[in-house]
Amino acid sequence: MDSFIIKGGTPLRGDVTISGSKNAVLPIMAATLLTGETCTLRRVPNLSDVAFMVRILESLGAEVAWSGDVVTVRAARIKGFGDYDLIRKMRGSICILGPLLGRRRAASVSLPGGCVIGTRPIDLHLKGLTALGTRIQIEGGYIHARARKLTGNTIFLGGRAGPTVLGTANILMAAVLADGVTIIESAACEPEVVDLCQFLVAMGAKISGIGSPTLTVTGVPELHGADHEVIPDRIEACTFLCAAAATKGDVTLHGTRPEHFAAVLDKLREAGVRIERKGTTLRVTRPGRLKPADVTTQPYAGFPTDVQAQFMALMALAPGISVITERIFESRFMHVAELMRLGADIAIEGPNAIVKGGRPMSGAPVMASDLRASAALVIAGLAARGTTQVHRIYHLDRGYERMEDKLRQLGARIERAAGE
C-alpha cells in the first residue's frame, strides 16, 4: 500500500484550485440512470470512488466516457443489477437504489456494511422507499426492492443524528418518476443534496423547496439528458484552509463556495486565522499564534463531521484547551491515537475530545484509518518537525484529487512512496 512521506516545518504558500465535490458527484452519477439520454457532468474529480462508480454504471449497461474532468453517461438500456463485488466495496453505491427503482421499478443492491467511523444504517432509505410503494426483502447480502408502481407520499426522514443525506438522495431519485406528489419532511439540506436537486431539475424533474428541510416532488413520466457542473468540494477547501493555518502559511484557494462552509470559516477566525474573501477566492493567513476553539459537529449548516479530524489537528497546535464534540458518528476519533504518536495531547471522554494544544509535534510513522483521518495526519505531518510517514493513503485517493501534487505546488515537501 502506498504512503506519503512528509518532511514538515515548511509554510504552505501559493495558489490552489478546489476540485469538484466527491459527495455531490456520486449521487449525480447514479441519477444518470434515470434517463436513456446522454448526460454530461463537468468538474468531476479524478478519485478512486468516481472510478468505482464509473465501473458500476458500466456493469449496469451504461456507456460511460471520462476525459479530464468531464464524464458523459448514456444509459439507454439497463441490464441486470450491476456487479455485486464492485457495489459492495463502496458504501456510496447504495445511491443507485433510488434511480433503479425509479427507472425500472426493481433493484437488487448489496447491503452496505459499517465502517471504522461507525455504523451508518439505511433504515431511513428503506422506510422512505417503502412509503412510495416498494416491497423490500433483505436476503443473501442483497437488498431486493420491487414495486408495481411508485406512488407519492409524505415521508419523514429525521434520524438520531439528523437527516440522512444519501437517504434523501435515494428518495428523491425514486420520487421524480413516481405517480403524484411526494413530500419529504426533515430532508437533508447539504449543498450536495441541493446540487443533486438542481441536476434532476435540469433533467426535467419538478422539485420545490430546494435547500430547505421540506422537499416537494411532483412526479413526471420521464426525464431527459442534461449538462451539469458539479459544485466545488467544501471538505477539500476546509482541509487546505486547516493545512495553511497549521503551517503558518499564505494560501489562496480558487473556485470555492464559501457559503457552503460558513461554520468552519467562523471557527477558523475564532482560532486566530485570517481569511479574506473575494468572490469564489479565499486567502488564508495566520498572523499570530493560534487560539483554542471548541466545536460540535452538526448536520448542515453546522460544523461538518467531515472536517472534525482536520480541525483537531489544527487545535493540537493551539496553546490552551479545545473541546471537540462529535455528534454525528459514534466512533470518529480513530485519528486521535495517531495524532498522539506525533506528540499531540488529546483525551477522549465519551463524545468529547479534550485537546491540550501547543505542544510541539515531531514526525513519526502513522496509520490512516479513514478518509478524513488521513487528511488530519497529513496536516499534522506538514506542521511537525522531522519526517512523518502516513500509511494507507488509499483512503485519501477516495476523496482528494492529486493531494500530494497540490501540496507540492504550495511548497510542501511530500512524496508518494509505493507500497509492496
pLDDT tens digit sequence for 179-196: 999 999 999 999 999 999
For the chain, domain boundaries: 3-15+232-417, 26-229
State the average pLDDT over residues 207-227. 98
Catalytic choice (115, 189, 197, 242): 115
Q: What per-residue confidence (pLDDT) applies to 159?
A: 80
Q: Which of 21, 332, 373 is nearest to 29 (CA)?
A: 21
pTM value is: 0.95
Q: Is 95 a catalytic residue?
A: no
Mean predicted lDDT score pLDDT of the chain: 94
Q: What per-residue confidence (pLDDT) applies to 338?
A: 97
Burial class (CB in 10 A: 0-12, 13-18, 19+), 343: middle
In terms of pLDDT, which residue wins out, 382 or 141? 382
Question: How many C-beta atoms lie closer than 10 Å to residue 154's C-beta?
Answer: 12
Taking the CA of residue 208 as centre, how many other CA atoms within 13 Å lie in the half-sphere pointing to its CB?
6
Cα 339 to Cα 8, 12, 236, 303, distances in angstroms: 14, 20, 20, 21
State the average pLDDT over residues 41-50. 96
State the average pLDDT over residues 235-239. 98
CB 202 within 8 A of CB 220: no
Most confident of 113-122, 363-372, 374-383: 374-383
- What is the residue type of 233? D
Q: What are phi and psi of 355, to 5 degrees?
A: -105, 115
Residues 6+ apart with CB under 8 A from 1: 391, 392, 393, 394, 419, 420
Q: Would you place residue 212 in the very low, low, confident or very high pLDDT band (cuts 50, 70, 90)?
A: very high
State the average pLDDT over residues 262-284. 98
Cα 50 to Cα 10, 264, 292, 314, 359, distances in angstroms: 32, 26, 37, 29, 39
Instruction: Spell out the SS3 assignment of 136-161.
Output: EEEECCEEEEECCCCECCEEECCCCC
Q: Is the pLDDT of residue 411 over 70?
A: yes
Q: What per-residue confidence (pLDDT) applies to 84?
A: 67
CB 97 within 8 A of CB 144: no
Q: What per-residue confidence (pLDDT) applies to 117?
A: 39
Q: Would you place residue 114 in the very low, low, confident or very high pLDDT band (cuts 50, 70, 90)?
A: very low
Buried b (16+ CB within 10 A) or exposed e, 296-307: bbbbbebbbbbb
Q: Is the pLDDT of residue 80 over 80?
A: no
State the average pLDDT over residues 239-257. 98
Give the three-state DSSP class for 302: coil
DSSP string, 154-200: EEE---TTS--HHHHHHHHHHHTTSBSEEEEET----HHHHHHHHHH
CA distance 212 to 215: 7
Domains 3-15+232-417 and 26-229 share a fold: yes
Cα 365 to Cα 7, 230, 308, 360, 381, distances in angstroms: 12, 36, 22, 16, 10
Q: Is the pLDDT of residue 119 over 70?
A: no
Q: Which of 212, 161, 188, 219 is nearest to 23 (CA)?
A: 188
Q: Is the pLDDT of residue 352 over 60?
A: yes
Strand order in the sheet with 413-417: 365-367, 387-391, 3-7, 413-417
Q: Would you place residue 81 in the very low, low, confident or very high pLDDT band (cuts 50, 70, 90)?
A: confident
Q: Is the pLDDT of residue 235 over 70?
A: yes
- Could you confirm whether domain 3-15+232-417 is CATH 3.30.70.1230? no
CB 36 within 8 A of CB 223: no
Q: Is the pLDDT of residue 120 over 60?
A: no
Residues 6+ apart with CB under 8 A from 9: 383, 384, 385, 386
State the average pLDDT over residues 277-301. 97
Q: Is the pLDDT of residue 77 over 70?
A: yes
- What is the residue type of 249? G
Architecture of domain 26-229: Alpha-beta prism (3.65)
CB 238 within 8 A of CB 310: yes
Helix (H) or strand (E) holding 281: strand 281-285
State the average pLDDT over residues 392-418. 96
**Tens digit of each residue's pLDDT (9 = 90 or more) over 290-342:** 999 999 999 999 999 999 999 999 999 999 999 999 999 877 899 999 999 99
Q: Is the pLDDT of residue 144 over 70?
A: yes
In terms of pLDDT, which residue wins out, 111 or 289? 289
Helices 123-131 and 97-104, axial angle in degrees (round to 10):
20
Q: What per-residue confidence (pLDDT) applies to 162?
A: 79
